[in-house]
Amino acid sequence: MLVSTTEIDVRYAETDQMGVVYHANYLIWMEIGRTKLIEDLGFKYADMEKEGILAPVIDIQASYKKAVRFGEKVTVKTWIEEYDGFRVSYGYEIINGSGDLAATGVSKHVCVRKDSFRPIAIKKMFPDWHNAYENAKKRDK
């Protein structure tokens, strides 16, 4: 499978009173990783939005393993965990500056029409995306 890699410098504003990255920032990093994966596949999420289609999160899970602190550089690894032509689940690993696994996660999405929020079939409306997602799932990690 295709695994996209994104490096992020941890900013002071992302930390909490304990000096570690506040948990909600991991969700932002996942979004950055997801956007990068889509770009690595040759697409831009903004182009889908121009067509009147959105991809809201319908479920998200994060497990925190090790602390990340200000000044570190984290690596976000992102891949397609599951895809069925309608729904897509992205998998994530966030590696801290010491090379340790800091967090894992999965986000689930469905594409909907912006005006009605009715789901659409990716494979019918965006066949190029569909083919790229199918191929990305099959590649070796």
Catalytic residues: 16
Query: What are the DSSP calls for 89-107, one per residue?
Result: EEEEEEE-TTS-EEEEEEE
3-class DSSP assignment, residue 86: coil
How far apart CA 134 and CA 140 sit, in angstroms, is 13
- 101 strand-pairing partners: 95
